[in-house]
Amino acid sequence: MKENPAILTALQQQIDDREQWALLTDYMLHESGLPGPRANLTLAGSFAGLFARPEVTETAWELISAWSHLPESEAKTGDPQEYLPFCAVWACGAHYAHADSIRRSQAEERLQAAMNDGRWRLREAAAMGLQSLGEYDFALLRELLDGWRSGATLLEQRAFVAALAHPPLLKAEANVLYCLELAAGIMDGIRSSDSGPAEREHFRVLSKGLEYSLSVFAASLPQPGFAMLRKYAASGDPRLIKIVKSNLGKTRLTKNYPDEVAGLLQLLTTC
C-alpha cells in the first residue's frame, strides 16, 4: 500500500524545504505508530520511495542524513523518535541506485551502521533499504554485498539474508542461486567458528535470520535449496542442525514439499 498522493506531494514539499522540516518531523512522529508493537510501514515505505530517483535535492539528502545519525540516546527503541532514523535508513537504500559516488559512499556508511545498531528496527530498516535497491537493480545489490561479505560482522550477515529472503527478488533463478551461495558461505562460516561470549547475542540474531530465510530460498528453487539443507542437516553441528530444523517447519516447505521435508527430518533422526 502507498500513502494518498496528496500526502506524498505534501511530504515532498516539506522534505525539500528546510523551513518546513519541523512540520514534517511532527507529522512523521504523530503517524509513526510508536510507541506500539508495529511501526507505520506504509508511510515509511512511501517516504523511502520519494528518494528512489535521481532528482533528490541536497536539502532532502541533508534531512535523511541528519535523521539517520540520530543515536539511541535520542531515539530509543519503541519511542516515536526511532521512526525518523528508521525511515531515513530505508530511504538511503532506496536512493542508492540513483545516487552519485559521494552519496553512495555515505549511504553505504549509514546502511552498515544500521545493520550493526542495537535497535532492531534500525537493523530491519537496513534490510528493507537493501530490498528496495534489489528490486530496482539486483546486480547492483549483488555487487554491494560482494564488497561487504569478506569480514562482515554477524549482524551484517543477518542483514544480508534478511534482505535477500524477499520474494520479489527471487523470481530469477540466477538470483536464487546467488542467495543460496551467499547463505551457504555464512553457514560454513558458522561451522568453522566458535563465537565467544561477547558475540553470543549477535549470533542469536544471525541464527534467527537463517532459521527462516533458507526456507524462502529453498521454496524458490527446491532442488539446490534442499541439497543445501541436506548438507547442513548432516553436518553434525548442533547450531546448523537447529537452523535446518526451523526451516523444515515452515509452511512454505511443509505444504509444498512434504516428501523432501520428511526425508530430511528422517536424516536428522539418524545423524
* Region of 188 on the Ramachandran plot (φ > 0 left; ψ -120 to 50 alpha; else beta): alpha
How sure is the predictor about 1, in pLDDT bands with cuts at 50, 70 and 90?
Answer: low
In whole angstroms, give the CA distance from residue 262 to residue 16. Answer: 56
In our burial notation (b when 16+ CB lie closer than 10 A, e otherwise), range 211-221 reads bbbbbbbbbbb
Q: What is the pLDDT of residues 46-67, one digit of tens each?
A: 999 999 999 999 999 999 999 9
In whole angstroms, give the CA distance from residue 271 to residue 240. Answer: 13
Q: Assess whether pLDDT exceeds 90 at residue 269.
A: no
Dig out the grid coordinates for 161 from the structure.
539474508
Q: Which of 59, 63, 58, 64 is nearest to 94 (CA)?
A: 64
In whole angstroms, give the CA distance from residue 67 to residue 32. Answer: 14
In whole angstroms, give the CA distance from residue 57 to residue 78. Answer: 30
Alpha helix ranges (H) inside the chain: 5-15, 21-30, 41-49, 58-68, 83-96, 101-115, 120-136, 138-149, 154-164, 173-191, 200-220, 222-233, 238-248, 251-254, 258-270
Q: What is the pLDDT of residues 139-168, one digit of tens each?
A: 999 999 999 999 999 999 999 999 999 999
| pTM tops 0.85 | yes
Residue bearing the bigger pLDDT, 55 or 193: 55
Q: What is the pLDDT of residues 212-253, one digit of tens each?
A: 999 999 999 999 999 999 999 999 999 999 999 999 999 999
Neighbours of 222 (CB within 10 A): 14
